[in-house]
Chain A
Amino acid sequence: MNIAVIQFPGSNGDQDTFHLFASGLGLPTRYVWHKDATLGGADLVALPGGFAHGDYLRCGAIARFSPIMAAIRAHAANGGLVYGICNGFQILCEAGLLPGALIRNACLEFRCVMCDLSVEPSTAAFSPAALGPSIRLPISHGEGNYRIDDAGLSRLEANRQVLLRYARNPNGSIGSIAGIRNERGNVFGMMPHPDRAFERFHASRDGLAVARAVLASRFPELEKRTA
């Protein structure tokens, strides 16, 4: 098992995501610079939070042109795991690896708060049965208002691609959606931060179970081992 955490120049959650996997789950984890062309044989590619290229225009809009994105697309096309957190989720949507888009919070302000989230029945590993009916994770974003057209929303719901919903919608997201996966089940994205909910002193440690659930979508043996 080998985790690659992508570093864009304005990534600021890169250490958080690195330590979620490295310290929290004890997995071999390394950084990959956005100008690199290859991932170097990663099992899971994580795109961390931050402001990849300043994101003054539209979050993630420039990042999808970073050289590493071609390798990430190829990795996803081969069925490899890709996981975007916060800005990483925004980038995956901009890159077309996940459906929909994220726009300015309905309150027009940045929000950094703890959220109760309902776990949706999505995959065997990502389900209320596996994770419990609800978890708590913090959000920390100004543009986490998830948008998708009606047809797209119907497809998401019909395919059970919604992973998490906010119990109290903090940003105006349609259907209170906080996280989704692609249809195939190997690309994941969410606005809440499991990478800031895993240390002993954190208000919630549910981030560990969420990270395991993402990994277990591809590596069911991990779920058994670390359960």
Chain B
Amino acid sequence: MPTMPAAPLPPNPDPVLNQPITPELVKKHGVLPEEYAAIVEALGRPPTLTELGIFSVMWSEHCSYKNTRPLLKGFPTEKLGPTADFGRVLVKAGEENAGIIDVGEGWAIAFKIESHNHPSAVEPFEGAATGVGGIIRDIFTMGARPVLLTNSLRFGELSSPVTRRLFRGVVAGIAHYGNCVGVPTVGGDVYFDRSYEGNPLVNALCLGTLRHDQIRRGAATGTGNPVYYVGAATGRDGLGGAAFASKELSEESQADRPAVQKGDPFMEKLLIEACLEMMAVPGLVVGIQDMGAAGLTCSTCETASRGGTGIEIELDRVPQRETGMNSYEIMLSESQERMLVIVQKGREREIEAVFAKWDLHAALVGSVTDTGRMVVRQHGITVADIPAPALTDQAPVYQRDAREPAYLAVTRAWTPAGLPDLDAAGLRDALPRLLAHPTIASKRWVYRQYDHIVQHGTAVEPGSDAAVVRLRLGDREKFIAIANDCNGRYCYLNPHRGALIAMVECLRNVVCSGATPLAMTDNLNFGNPYKPEAFFALKECVRGLAEACRFFDVPVVGGNVSLYNESREGAIDPTPTVAIVGLIEDERHITRQFARAAGDRLILLGGAPCELGGSQFLGLFHGLKTGDAPAVDMPAEKRLQDFLLAQIKAGAIAAAHDLSEGGLLVAAAEMLFGAAPLGADIDLSALAAPRLDALLFGESQGRVIVAVPPARAAAALADAASRGVPAADIGAVAAGGTLSLRTGVAEAAWPVAELRRAWETAIEEAMKRPGLD
């Protein structure tokens, strides 16, 4: 719809709002001079202060993706090949708050991951809590009932008291919110690395279920339809949070505390129930959107823009919990637990009745228009009048410069030739030390604080390769497997390959649990895009993710970009976090990583290429973060995953565990940490190995250890051979509590109980020391 140039706005009696827009004021809003010129052009006049604020948040990276949009276009958003009974994309990435995938029988899932890194750095508890709240709203906004949460966390080294304070606060914040709202936190990943010191990453994912006919859109349609504001009242908290998230953290960031919101999970719980109840009434809700980043501003202009309409709101009707808030503050507030709902005209009573039942506000704040403009009034004066598309589709887009960082030439050329190999004593010591490294160690300290069993659908609890959750789809049951992953160390050493690894490993985790991968959501956590080296990493990682998505035909259903992740130490390791959801149609196919019976053969799939680059071993024993990331062979990976899934479905696999951080021996040990007290006898003497350390602790990709009942082992090995999957019988699960190892050059044995203690208590022990307050 064509939009008319804006009429000049009347002077505002409030001197703050009426102040002339100076270059300093523009700069303070993080708006570039050329962007300001574009604003003046879009409006046909200089903006008011309120309008400048609105543009600054909508054109921030957080809302506009202005530095990443061209890159993200490379992601496949639909299945490329034919779909079976499930897996079709029903709502594509970028169309709505979250993408939606068909899971068959007329049912679907909506899921998405989102970051809350900057708020968590400044105020870990509230920052993380509101991150969970925000992503849950993105899901139920689509009409879906949230059924699970996961999160992906990155911190500095646990030896730092600052890290411990952040870690404790973030975990407690996630627990506080997720536990109260009643959505189980079933899985996640946590890495500890110096590069995240002072700039932790907090990425939260939510998944919900819905019937196809329950899908809702965030579009304001139907001229004259009333616009409702529901949920919590607006305060001054979270003012300009989207803009805050779009700059680097600094000494002054603590002064940005008012930009961190406070969460109220009980309010969120009421909103979930009330909104789902309201959306279940046929024809009542026309459009719905949560007020997340950029609050009332974003929800109004985005719904109008999607609907191809205009929207008018009256701020005097907005519930406010503080007095004297001006239009700038109300429009930019990021107070939590608020939704915008567009209702079918004439049915106002029905929505008000639903919200009264749940003791919630439902305030009529405006209406849908046919002007294509977003018009905001306060105290009888128009304070903003902006063509809605200028804020959304017409936001600036930049192609940033990319330059390969100089260090890559050095790290890529590194070889382990100068390093002494492990000897027998070193080997004995290395395994428990690696198992006790916080990145590898059990995350029990974390997940025992999360309610991971509410809704009673959790079939595989946190601690295995992927979490598995039962979905009730009418009177049918199916199971969802979900894993998230990203090793930033690999991305630092080779951004493109690191991103491929994030994808293939996440897929492997999902397949190890018995699931057919459906789709992925990603959270791109990077440094300042204006720095060509940081932009290079971003570009290369996105290229890698997109390539792997196409190869495995796994569409991207949505995601989030978090840039400016830098602190005094410099940029974080590039961290394109990937979360993949898979479907298990038959409960009997659910597979865990834990060995179940003595005598089962242990089969290593994928061989032993003995790469040491980027490994935890190099970091822990040699203080090195160098070498190239492990090689990725996608066709081989695909063969492996197809084989594994076929064997699981044939009932031949008792346990399957992906090889990742810590490599072969760590994975073998981890398979013994289940409910049954078991050991293993492992013999690697048949494997050719130039170095012992690389054989045992190298992190080559495309590998899985499976436990197979002895009667099925020969057939499994034969099937692997016929499919071109390298497979080697490396020993058996044993009844005694000992892990014994034999290689061509060394022998060692460990009591499993001792290994388990090291692995299980490492984080708990570290967290006994008080954090810095």
Contacts of A196 in B (CB 8 A): 453-454, 456
On chain B, the residues within 8 Å of A201 by CB distance are 459, 470, 587, 590
| Interface positions of A from 1 to 41, Cβ below 8 Å from B | 9-13, 15-16, 19-20, 35
Q: Are A203 and B266 in contact (CB under 8 A)?
A: no
| Given the contacts A53-B266, A54-B264, A201-B470, A9 and B451 also touching, CB distance less than 8 Å | no
Given A51-B269, A54-B264, CB of A113 within 8 Å of CB of B448:
yes
Q: Which residue of B lies closest to A109 (CB)?
A: B449
CB-CB < 8 A to B266: which residues of A?
9-10, 51, 53-56
Tell whether B530 is near chain A: CB-to-CB under 8 Å.
no
Residues of B within 8 A of A111 (CB): 448-449
Partner of A110, one of B179, B267, B273: B179
Report if A112-B182 is in contact (Cβ < 8 Å); known contacts: A9-B358, A12-B269: no
Contacts across chains A and B counted by CB atoms under 8 Å:
90
Closest 3 CB pairs of A and B: A12-B182, A54-B266, A201-B459
A203 and B461 form a contact (CB under 8 A): yes
Residue B535 interfacial (CB < 8 Å)? no
CA distance A123 to B454 in the complex (A): 29
- A200→B587 contact, CB < 8 A: yes
| Bound Cα distance A109, B266 (Å) | 19
Using C-beta atoms within 8 Å of the partner chain, give the interface range for chain B: 20 to 34
Could you mark each residue 69-86 of chain A with 1 if its beta carbon is under 8 Å from any beta carbon of chain B, else 0? 000000000000000000
Q: How far apart are B207's CB and chain A's nearest CB, in angstroms? A: 16
Interface centre among B180, B450, B470 (most CB of A within 10 A): B180
Q: CB < 8 Å: which of B454, B455, B456 contacts A202? A: B456
Docked pose: A53 CA to B358 CA in angstroms: 11
- In the bound complex, residues from chain A placing their C-beta under 8 Å from that of B176 are 110
Chain A interface, DSSP helix/strand/loop, else mixed: loop
Residues from chain B with Cβ under 8 Å of A138 in the complex: 453
Bound form: Cα–Cα A202–B457 in Å: 8
Q: Which residues of A contact B586 (CB under 8 A)?
A: none
Interface: A193 (CB within 8 A): yes
Contact with B along A91-116 (1 / 0, CB 8 A): 00000000000000000011111000
Closest to B269 in A: A10
Can you list 10 A-B contacts (CB < 8 A)?
A9-B273, A10-B266, A51-B269, A109-B449, A110-B179, A110-B451, A112-B448, A112-B450, A112-B451, A199-B456
Residues of B participating in the A interface, judged by any CB pair closer than 8 Å: 172, 175-176, 179-182, 264-267, 269-270, 273, 357-359, 447-457, 459, 461, 470, 587, 590, 675
In the complex, besides A196-B456, A201-B587, 18 extra interface pairs with C-beta distance below 8 angstroms are A9-B273, A9-B358, A12-B269, A12-B455, A13-B454, A16-B454, A16-B455, A16-B456, A51-B266, A51-B269, A54-B267, A55-B180, A112-B449, A140-B179, A140-B454, A195-B456, A199-B456, A200-B587
CA distance A203 to B175 in the complex (A): 22
Closest to A49 in B: B454
CB A199 to nearest CB in B, in angstroms, measures 6
A142 to B265, CA, bound (A): 15
Tell me, in angstroms, the Cα distance from A199 to B460 when the chains sit together: 12
Kindly state the separation between the CA atoms of A110 and B446 in the bound complex, as whole angstroms.
10
Given A16-B456, A19-B456, A110-B175, the answer on whether A9 and B270 have CB atoms closer than 8 Å is: yes
Q: Tell me if B449 and A110 are in contact (CB < 8 A).
A: yes
Q: Check B179 against A142 for contact (C-beta < 8 Å).
A: yes
Is B452 a contact of A112 with CB atoms below 8 Å? yes
Q: Which residues of A contact B456 (CB under 8 A)?
A: 15-16, 19-20, 195-196, 198-199, 202
Which residues of the partner chain A approach B675 to less than 8 Å between Cβ atoms?
Answer: 203
B180 to chain A, nearest CB (A): 5
Contacts of A54 in B (CB 8 A): 180, 264-267
Point out the residues of chain A lying under 8 angstroms from B590, CB to CB.
201
Tell whether, in the assembled complex, residue A51 and residue B180 are in contact, meaning their CB atoms are under 8 Å apart.
yes
Q: Within the complex, what minimum Cβ distance (angstroms) separates A11 from chain B?
A: 8
Complex CA–CA separation, A100 to B273 (angstroms): 32
